[in-house]
Amino acid sequence: MRVTIIETGRAPGRLSEDYPRYPDMFAELLGEADAGLSFEVVRLPDGEALPDPADCEAVVITGSPAGVYERTPWMDPLRAFVRAAFGAETPMVGVCFGHQIIADAMGGDVRKSDKGWGVGRHTYEVLEHRPWMAGAGASVSLAVSHQDQVITPPAGAVTLARSAHTDHAMLVYQAAPVMSVQGHPEFGDEFVAALYAARRGRLSDEQVDGAIASLAEPHDNEMMARWMAAFLRSGRRS
């Protein structure tokens, strides 16, 4: 199965040079979860054109430093791509910004949260289990880095996981094979600690130090990767 990874942003400063870029992180993560997946990348920051989603077997939309309310040359085309993917019933997964842009494109409310930055390891309560969520328990833990979040999901979206900080941390859609998650299963702990450190000044020392310390708690990156891969395969068009 060929997965089209839509790159919507890069890590700040030297992080994008010192660590793999987001599409490479996803290819490694999902490739380990399902060896039958192959990957191609559309680099929106470089001006590459979006494909016809009807021609895609599956799609992953990455995180980004951009917010859905910002005016970038690719923001409206990406919204149109998302809506067309729903119409074509193309299996699609969004992570962080990807989670937000899907909700925004389909009529949800996405904006900066009055709860402030979400950083560190967050544990979400799992509200519903689906067949593709093998190994799911009462919670799932991922590293996060976001100010924006889905405040009100679109019609037809079901919230599968939540926390006190993030009410709609994982969504699945009834109208098409689409799911999304706010946390970052693709981020290894070394990278995400460096990302938090690079944001000193925007974040207080207390926030940064607390976020880095929280990474000592276990994560569920590999389990989430298996869910994502299984979800994409389960929604594949015959």
Please state the domain extents for the chain.
2-234
Instruction: Please give, one letter per residue, the 3-state secondary structure of 113-130.
Output: CCCCCEEEEEEEEECCCC
Distance CA 103, CA 149 (A): 10
Q: Between the CA of residue 145 and those of 130, 199, 238, what are the distances in Å? A: 26, 10, 37
Sign of the alpha-carbon dihedral angle for 65, 67, 72, 74: positive
Q: Which CATH architecture has domain 2-234?
A: 3-Layer(aba) Sandwich (3.40)
Report whether 61 contacts 46 (CB < 8 A): no
What is the structure's pLDDT at 162?
98
What is the structure's pLDDT at 236?
82
pTM > 0.95: yes or no: yes
Q: What is the mean pLDDT of the chain?
A: 97
What is the structure's pLDDT at 80?
98
